[in-house]
Amino acid sequence: MPKHFRKVTDLTIPALHELFDLTREVKRHPERFVRALEGRTLAMIFEKPSLRTRVTFQTGIFQMGGQAIYLGPTDIQLGKRESLYDIASNLSRWVDAVMIRTFGHHLIDGMAEASSVPVINGLSDRFHPCQAIADFFTLQERLGPLQGKTLAWVGDGNNVLHSLALCAAMLGVHLRYATPPAHTPEAEVIDEARQIAQQTGASIHACFDPAEAVQGADAVYTDVWASMGQEAEAAQRKITFAHYQVNTELMQKARPDAFFMHCLPAHRGEEVTDQVVDAPSSIVFDQAENRLHAQKALMLTLMRR
């Protein structure tokens, strides 16, 4: 197992499957882990606000006997009031792991390089690995073995898509993504995913037409058109992404039993309609719940050494 969890590929493919197995055990038998992290402390650094990330990490470590310390934007300014090296060196003397939710991925890499305790990426501008782990665990609960299944992505080529692409490749899942031409994912990340896919039988297919991406898919995934930090672009993005809404008509092009997925929060009426997000086929709240279980398994893996 890795020392840090900065991106999905910090895990080997066997370690990813082991993490899913542990997530399943934690979810089914939480009573077995009530003292597993007793006396352990997680520092949670938030430069971006969050509902799911904060509650699931804080609740998760509490349910295993540990505690979390919240450090907001006014408490700590990564690399500004104090160097990353000094922050990491201090925290390494006091806590057992550090979770960071920030804008720049370089800040997570810098903290990890200087930290002697595990650093967990709670979200950065490049990756959202905790979300991807919970998402594919959720799909596995619904679909069973994921090898050969198809996940469609419609929307922005963002941090969530980056992590989904890497995770899909590791699990043998076919990923088809449709983005506007000016909002494609990073070529470096997609190249890495395709290299992994050659080993697992997965495929990573890019297109610009949502209907092409969704055709016959087992699940359809979308995210907000403008993420935190992109508020100035929101009006233009609404125009650019107007044809990338996941609605009932688009979902009908997927398999009849296809699931709808979203990392939340959802901007209803923009990237997804109420009819889709509230449909029986929507598993968005299962995804949100499984953030708790998957992150408990991740903390056990990294902190119980």
| Residue in 6, 54, 101, 237 annotated catalytic | 101
Residue at token pair 């087992």: 218
Three-state DSSP class for 50?
coil
296: closest CA among 24, 84, 51, 10?
A: 24
Q: How big is the CA angle at 261 (ends 255 and 262), to the nearest 5 degrees?
A: 150
Identify the active-site residue in 263, 287, 293, 295.
Answer: 263
Q: Are 208 and 248 in contact (CB under 8 A)?
A: no
Is the CB of residue 35 less than 8 Å from the CB of residue 298?
Answer: no
Q: Pick the catalytic residue from 109, 125, 135, 223.
A: 223
The catalytic residue among 6, 40, 291, 293 is 291
- State both tokens at 106: 């370089």
Reply yes or no on whether 291 is catalytic: yes
Residue 131 among the catalytic residues: yes
Q: Are 258 and 217 in contact (CB under 8 A)?
A: yes
Q: Which of 45, 126, 124 lies closest to 88, judged by CA?
A: 45
Catalytic residue among 4, 40, 126, 131: 131
Query: Within its chain, how far is the Cα of 204 from the centroid?
Result: 18
Catalytic residue among 4, 52, 128, 262: 128
At 100, give phi and psi (nearest 5°): -125, 130
Give the residue among 299, 241, 291 at the shortest CA–CA distance from 270: 241
Q: Is residue 252 flagged as an active site residue? A: no
At CB < 8 A and 24+ separation, what contacts does 31-37 make? Answer: 33/63, 33/64, 33/296, 33/300, 34/63, 34/64, 34/65, 35/64, 35/65, 36/64, 36/65, 36/300, 36/304, 37/61, 37/64, 37/65, 37/66, 37/96, 37/299, 37/300, 37/303, 37/304
- Residues noted as catalytic: 101, 128, 131, 223, 263, 291
